[in-house]
Amino acid sequence: MTIVTPVGMSRKREGRGKFITLEGGEGVGKTTNLPFIQDYLQHHNIPVVVTREPGGTRFAEKIRHLLLDAESEPLSEQAELLLMFAARAQHIRHIIEPALAHGNWVLCDRFTDATYAYQGGGRDMSFSTIEWLENLVQGPLKPDLTLLLDMPVETGMTRAKERGGEFDRFESEKISFFERVRQAYLMQAERYPERIKLIKANQPLIDVQAAIANAVQPLLM
């Protein structure tokens, strides 16, 4: 679970902050690596706001609860997609844009690449519909850097199982769903090689974090 930590929000910095997103399938290590990236940035005197999707504001967290609830009535693909973007619209308006405008960096656990992967790949929804909603909700806002943690689906699921806890509505999907999610993520990485950096996630944590630091470092220039 990620929590919203508006570290350094009160310090106005020159210029606009940078927007970093962390992506990948289930159990690849996003939550594990967020504090590492946060510490890395703070070590370089960069105030960072850590947040997540779906969620990040009180209202968007309520939408998250609806989306992840494994006991809910079956959700149509359209309702799921629209709720993702409804939560995102609130998150951008109240957290992401103000933080970036204030000169803070924003580190977000999942963003719109997850929608291409889960709703586009997993649910087989049209990429052009997602793109239309992306433009409507985000305007020109795009991450400056996306770290895509990638590894075989089975390994991620095993890690998620070993971590324990109840499975949510997405985690209860079949392996074939997550294979499509992974392929859609990899397609996004091919589509945006400048922005999306692929990080091999099935290696020791110390090596994952070295690769993450390598990918983040050029943004500090």
Q: How, if at all, do strands 5-6 and 48-52 pair?
A: antiparallel
CB nearer to ligand T5A: pick between 211 and 219: 211
x/- letters, 73..102, toward ligand T5A (CB under 6 A): -----------x------------------
Question: DSSP labels for 110-122?
Answer: S-HHHHIIIIIII
Contact segment (CB under 6 A) with ligand T5A among 7-15, 113-121, 124-132, 187-195 equals 113-121
Q: Binders of ligand T5A among 32-51, rule CB under 6 A?
A: 32
d(CA 194, CA 177) in angstroms, rounded, equals: 27
Is there a contact between 110 and 22 (Cβ–Cβ < 8 Å)?
Answer: yes
d(CA 153, CA 62) in angstroms, rounded, equals: 28
CB nearer to ligand T5A: pick between 140 and 204: 204
Instruction: Report if residue 150 touches ligand T5A, rule: CB under 6 A.
Output: no
Class of residue 45 by CB neighbours under 10 A (exposed 0-12, middle 13-18, buried 19+): exposed
Tell me how many residues contact ligand T5A (CB under 6 A). Answer: 26
CB nearer to ligand T5A: pick between 12 and 207: 207
CB nearer to ligand T5A: pick between 18 and 110: 110
As given in the structure block, the two tokens for residue 59 are 């209202």
CB nearer to ligand T5A: pick between 109 and 150: 109
**148 strand-pairing partners:** 23, 198
- Binding stretches for ligand T5A (CB under 6 A): 24, 26-32, 52-54, 84, 109-110, 114-115, 118-119, 159-160, 163, 170-171, 204-205, 208
